[in-house]
Amino acid sequence: MQALGFMGITERYDASLALLNALYGVNIVSVPRNVHDSKSLVDFDALARNATLAGLLADDATLCEIAVVFHQQRVRMAAKCKPFAHGHIDAVEGGVVRGWTWWSRTDEPVMVSVMIDGAYIGQVRALNPDPLAEWNAPRGGRVGFALLLPAELAVNSTVRCTVASTWQVLGEFVV
């Protein structure tokens, strides 16, 4: 999901439209047509009380929550006239944090800051080859990053990666 060029949220239509305009330099205006005057025709509270349905929709709800967080982050970056980076932590294993990232509007490599439990560990530039190359990632797929973590990494530590210049969160990973 983090690799998508644009992602809108229906319930945040105006913010999504503003993000689309900022990202692509267009000026599409909101036209309120085909809208219903009530918030919803579906009683979501009743659906949530249905344990079977709630279990079936759990993955969808989690995906929706993640999408909303990324959308809000992108909207905040656009409001500050700052570029956002697509990015993700793939894994923390073997004492290394690995992921990928690229800027939305430029081919400059992204500098990634890595923290463990809020303590700064170091920075790494996203220049490594990544399997996203087969999906047409920028710079021929050279968007990966990897940073060796301290050997004394404690269980349940939180590894957080951010874009160094904007503090945009790329992800967190609990070891």
pLDDT, one tens digit per residue, over 49-80 is 777 777 777 777 788 888 888 888 888 888 88
At residue 100 the predicted structure's pLDDT band, cuts being 50, 70 and 90, is very high
CATH 2.60.40 in the chain, residues?
85-174
pLDDT of residue 87: 92
Nearest to 142 by CA among 132, 154, 153: 132
| Rounded distance between C-alpha atoms, residue 50 and residue 75, angstroms | 34
* pLDDT value at 145 more than 90: yes
Distance CA 150, CA 129 (A): 23
Q: Which residues pair with 118 in a beta bridge?
A: none
- Output the CA–CA distances (angstroms, integers) from residue 59 to 1, 11, 125, 146, 174, in the order listed: 14, 19, 33, 29, 20
- 43 — pLDDT class (breaks 50, 70, 90): low
Tell me the range of 19-23, 54-58, 64-68, 168-172 where mean pLDDT is highest: 168-172
User: Nearest-5° angle of CA 175, CA 128, CA 104?
Assistant: 90
Average pLDDT over residues 114-140: 88
pTM, two decimal places: 0.75
* More confident position, 152 or 18: 18
Task: Provide the CATH topology of domain 85-174.
Answer: Immunoglobulin-like (2.60.40)
- Residue 71 is predicted with a pLDDT of 85
Half-sphere exposure of 154 (CA within 13 A, CB side): 6
Q: Give the list of residues 6+ apart from residue 118 with CB closer than 8 angstroms, or none.
A: 160
97 pLDDT exceeds 90?
A: yes
